[in-house]
Structure 1
């Protein structure tokens, strides 16, 4: 059991988490959103969930674990808060910059020319919006100066409703912009206001956000020419990862592209994609 006082606990109390309580939280996250914590993430669970203890007036992790097993209406808010706390991850602008250069210079122009100027993009697990908005900026750069009709529709999904509300606001702090946004793009695409830096409607209007669980059917999302699914599959079991990638292949149009992070590999035996190497980066193309 952990025995360390941490900020966020009710009235500054020391709150321990037992093996059984940790296991209950593990099971909830695995079943509700596919996250596999492993057996040594107690500190992560405590640091993420302690702030919720005071908010929902829990005096122990046992009370929290019991709520996660309840089917009551009031428990749904607690479950959503736990998922939000455990799935909010680091993100920044143009993460893995070489992929975005490839996207702007080759992938998007090629798709626009072959798809009659209409391209649909899915940014899965988009967090606070930096990835889909980075894609949107690349799209604007790719079609700049074209005399032909061009349309790029981007859907950003995440399981966390709270983080999607941040994404929809499209307002970012100086610190957030310093993580990957160069000064020229900052001047062109952002306007300083009292709350931070507001993204230009020219960019934000290309993106629609939707709460979505990757364990659910993709059918309602429609079909895509390009899918970004980066730095999220690492949290899933091998079986869930394979299932998600198989369904993403089914959601892609023939010849569509899948971008994983530069450190992620396609599972052995999943033959729906071929690896595309270009310069110092790589991504995947649907076969067929």
Structure 2
């Protein structure tokens, strides 16, 4: 434990005020027993800014011109846990059902997919691999191209994602050797960089899911996986309604394995794929 962390104590009132700030800023809801998480993730910021307690940090966040500090705090509190081809079946559904359907139905426009809360890029690059493999098996598919918009609130995660460069430890989490050799090149320092062809299909940008998405345009598919679990029920419902407005009618929403739609039958229709569930915009 660092010296900064030893001096960092949280009272119940400080935790409450900080939790309200975090939910107001990015939607994340902290359970009451998560004080240890705040301590571990904010200890570096507390030490660098010589804050003696969480109250001092919250006070600083509320001052004018605190945007940079606010960004650092949100960045530290954002979960960047991610895998390549996480849960696998969403990618099988994309390959075996959704891409063939889009190939058949859409001849005159670019295919657009949104990877929401993309973290360090594993999900959008996994999607790009699936598209690449589908196109090689179906010559002439998607003649007008494909675009994956990958968004996150974490600036450090987006910086990593844009680089397309990963250590072997990160690549070992869900990426098989065949895809590694096919889609990556090894660097002198032992890291690996994703191929320019896959990278060119993906565009990263900063998006707070509490904000508006209308400027992003319309999508055929939205992947929003393993992020809604951190939001309150009301915020989750609001986000899913806003996402419906960005989905083409008949387009698809793919959520995480433990996530579901909270009574949005006027927006989406549940489709069982066995394995996996997807939601079609109605």
Instruction: Tell me the TM-score range normalised by the shorter chain.
Output: over 0.9
Matched, 1:16 2:9: yes
Task: Name which of 155, 160, 163 aligns with 1:161.
Answer: 155
Q: Distance between the aligned counterparts of 1:62 and 1:247, measured in 2?
A: 34
Is this contact kept in 1: 2:80–2:120, CA < 8 A? no
Partner of 2:133: 141
What whole-Å deviation, never above 9, does each CA across 1:198-240 have from its counterpart, x for those lacking one?
0001111100000010011111111111000000001111000
> 5+ residue gaps in structure 2?
none
> For 2:86 and 2:273, how far apart are their aligned partners in 1?
17
Number of residue pairs matched?
278
Equivalents in 1 of 2:144, 2:101: separation in Å? 12
Match of 1:204 in 2: 199
When residues 38 and 270 of structure 1 are mapped into structure 2, their CA distance, relative to the original with a 3 A threshold, is: farther
Distance 1:93 1:30 in 2: 28
Q: TM-score, normalised by structure 1?
A: 0.93
Match of 1:3 in 2: none
Secondary structure at the residue paired with 1:82? helix
How far apart are residue 147 of structure 1 and its match?
2.6
Q: d(CA) in 2 for partners of 1:122 and 1:94?
A: 16
Bigger Cα displacement from structure 2, 119-128 vs 136-145: 136-145
Residue aligning to 2:260 = 265
Residue ranges of structure 1 left out of the alignment (5+ in a row): 1-5
Where do 1:207-286 residues align within 5 Å? Answer: 207-286=202-281
Q: Is the 8 A contact 1:100 1:135 kept in 2?
A: yes
- Is residue 24–residue 65 contact of structure 1 (8 Å, CA) maintained in 2? yes
The match for 1:88 among 79, 85, 101 is 79
Alignment partner of 1:265: what SS? Answer: coil
Deviation (angstroms), 1:286? 0.9
Instruction: Tell me the TM-score normalised to structure 2 length.
Output: 0.95
RMSD: 1.4
Runs of 4+ in 1 over 6 A off after TM superposition: none
Superposed CA offset, 1:4-38 (max 9, x none): xx33x43x643211112111210111111011112
Query: Secondary structure at 1:263's aligned position in 2?
Result: coil
Match for residue 179 of structure 2? 185
Whether the aligned pair in 2 keeps the contact of 1:190 and 1:200 (CA below 8 Å) is yes
